[in-house]
């Protein structure tokens, strides 16, 4: 099913809205836009094949979802949050301060961050350094850090086309943004002398990078309208729109399932959801939903989610992750450091 259609099938819930009886029957889920299509698929199947109603899901970004998740325990708080990065120690501590003290981390598989453009163009392969120089707020010029002067890709490297630098990407609340800053910006700059041996992650705000919000479908639409631009989003969106988009190789490695799953593709990351176990008694559907999500039917090598872009983890890793969820294993602060 087309992802845009899916978003109309499962309406985003406004957290804390009325209907206590219904809310206790329905699982409330927020979080990552990257995990959203996978969670939506599971939710549809869950609603169609069990006696429970279809869970309601809101795409808030990983950071926004974890904030809602950590607000506390009770009827007006969410049950599960999706994340395209691991929970941060500071988020865990905020959860604990608000009484959310029994959390299970569910690892579902892998995804890559695509750097993609309209398929009306020829492929433009890039390095992480070239992407960094295009998007960093300050770059080294003749040994000094200056506000980024580059307006065309050819100014960075004359082997690149004379196209305007315009990149649609996620906001600061997004796990995709966090991963991009770590895996591209920080990785490309940590050995640059001008930054003092530390990774630099500040992204320019002069219009070359366009904050496109949490809905990655909007980035896909904008790339069709502005064929000179690039977009930053999860690999699953590239795969689903392969008829209209092409992804760039990064550091000589193309974004393919095998390269992402093996870690060879340099912008690969892990995907998760987090379960608030303190809601288990009041929301019995939550445990059943989590188990379905972790099933081989969903995240296995032949699972449904692979068909919409999830890169499955090795079988042994899947089995370990499944056991963590089924036993309601509680994550500790030390696990996140």
At 3-15, the pLDDT tens digits run 433 443 444 443 4
258 shares a domain with 117:
yes
Residue 5 lies in a domain: no
* Local confidence band at 22 (pLDDT 50, 70, 90 cut-offs): very low
Q: What is the mean pLDDT of residues 79-103?
A: 96
Asked if residues 245 and 202 have their Cβ atoms less than 8 Å apart, the reply is no
Q: Is the pLDDT of residue 330 over 80?
A: yes
Q: Final residue of a domain: which of 228, 244, 262?
A: 262
SS3 assignment, position 95: helix
Residue 201's pLDDT is 95
Distance (Å, whole) CA 90 – CA 124: 38
Q: Rounded to 10 degrees, what is the CA torsion of 286, 82, 299, 170?
A: 160
Range of the domain at 276: 28-110+270-327
Distance (Å, whole) CA 213 – CA 230: 15
Q: Is the pLDDT of residue 337 over 90?
A: no
224 shares a domain with 197:
yes
**Number of domains composing the chain:** 2
**216-220, 223-227, 318-322, 327-331: which has the minimum mean pLDDT?**
216-220
Residue 226 lies in a domain: yes
Residue 217 lies in a domain: yes
276 shares a domain with 225:
no
151 shares a domain with 42:
no
Residue 69 CB: number of other CB atoms within 10 A? 31
Residue 228 lies in a domain: yes
CATH number at residue 33: 3.40.190.10
Q: Final residue of a domain: which of 229, 262, 295?
A: 262
Mean pLDDT is highest, among 31-35, 178-182, 190-194, 330-334, for 330-334
- In whole numbers, what is the pLDDT of the chain averaged over residues? 91
More reliable by pLDDT, 230 or 19: 230
242 shares a domain with 191:
yes
Q: What is the mean pLDDT of residues 16-45?
A: 80
Tell me phi and psi for residue 107, to 5 degrees.
-90, 125
153 shares a domain with 49:
no
Residue 173's pLDDT is 86
Q: Is the pLDDT of residue 300 over 60?
A: yes
234 shares a domain with 172:
yes
Q: How far is CA 241 from CA 176, 233, 256, 281, in A?
A: 18, 12, 14, 41
Residue 150's pLDDT is 98
225 shares a domain with 98:
no
* Local confidence band at 23 (pLDDT 50, 70, 90 cut-offs): very low
312 shares a domain with 193:
no
Q: Is the pLDDT of residue 196 over 60?
A: yes
Q: What is the mean pLDDT of residues 109-124?
A: 95
DSSP string over 225-247: H-TT-EEEEEHHHHHHTTTTEEE
Q: Final residue of a domain: which of 236, 262, 288?
A: 262
166 shares a domain with 56:
no
What percent of the chain stands above pLDDT 70? Answer: 93
pLDDT by residue (tens digit) across 234-258? Answer: 998 899 899 999 999 999 999 999 9
Residue 56 lies in a domain: yes
297 shares a domain with 234:
no
The verdict on pTM exceeding 0.85 is no
Q: Is the pLDDT of residue 93 over 70?
A: yes
Residue 11 lies in a domain: no
Q: Is the pLDDT of residue 16 over 60?
A: no
197 shares a domain with 126:
yes
> Within 13 Å and on the Cβ side, how many CA atoms surround 9?
19
Residue 184's pLDDT is 96
Residue 269's pLDDT is 92
More reliable by pLDDT, 90 or 18: 90
Residue 23 lies in a domain: no
Residue 323's pLDDT is 98
Residue 77 lies in a domain: yes
pLDDT by residue (tens digit) across 135-173? Answer: 999 999 988 999 999 999 999 999 999 999 999 999 998
């Amino acid at each position: 099913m087309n992802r845009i259609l899916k978003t109309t099938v499962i309406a985003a819930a406004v957290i804390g809205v009325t209907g206590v009886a219904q809310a206790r029957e329905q699982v409330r889920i927020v979080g990552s836009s990257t995990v959203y299509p996978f969670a939506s698929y599971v939710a549809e199947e869950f609603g169609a094949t069990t006696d429970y109603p279809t869970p309601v899901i809101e795409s808030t970004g990983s950071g926004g979802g974890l904030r809602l998740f950590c607000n506390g325990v009770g009827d007006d708080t969410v049950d599960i949050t999706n994340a395209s990065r691991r929970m941060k120690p500071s988020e865990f501590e905020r959860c604990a301060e608000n009484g959310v003290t029994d959390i299970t981390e569910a690892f579902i598989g892998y995804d890559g961050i695509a750097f993609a453009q309209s398929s009306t163009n020829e492929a433009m392969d890039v390095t992480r350094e070239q992407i960094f120089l295009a998007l960093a707020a300050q770059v080294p010029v003749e040994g000094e850090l200056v506000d980024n002067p580059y307006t065309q890709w050819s100014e960075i490297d004359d082997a690149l086309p004379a196209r305007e630098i315009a990149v649609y990407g996620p906001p600061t609340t997004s796990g995709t943004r966090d991963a991009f800053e770590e895996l591209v910006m920080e990785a490309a700059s940590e050995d640059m002398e001008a930054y003092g041996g530390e990774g630099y992650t500040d992204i320019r705000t002069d219009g070359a990078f366009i904050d496109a919000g949490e809905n990655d479908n909007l980035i896909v639409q904008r790339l069709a309208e502005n064929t000179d631009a690039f977009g930053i989003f999860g690999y699953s969106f590239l795969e689903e729109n392969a008829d209209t988009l092409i992804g760039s190789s990064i550091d000589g490695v193309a974004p393919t399932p095998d390269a992402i799953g093996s870690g060879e593709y340099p912008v690969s990351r892990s995907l998760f959801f987090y379960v608030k176990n303190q809601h288990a008694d009041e929301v019995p559907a939550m445990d059943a939903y989590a188990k379905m999500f972790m099933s081989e039917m969903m995240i296995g090598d032949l699972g449904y989610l692979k068909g919409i872009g999830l890169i499955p983890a090795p079988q042994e890793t899947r089995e370990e992750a499944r056991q963590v969820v089924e036993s309601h294993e509680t994550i500790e602060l030390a696990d996140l450091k």
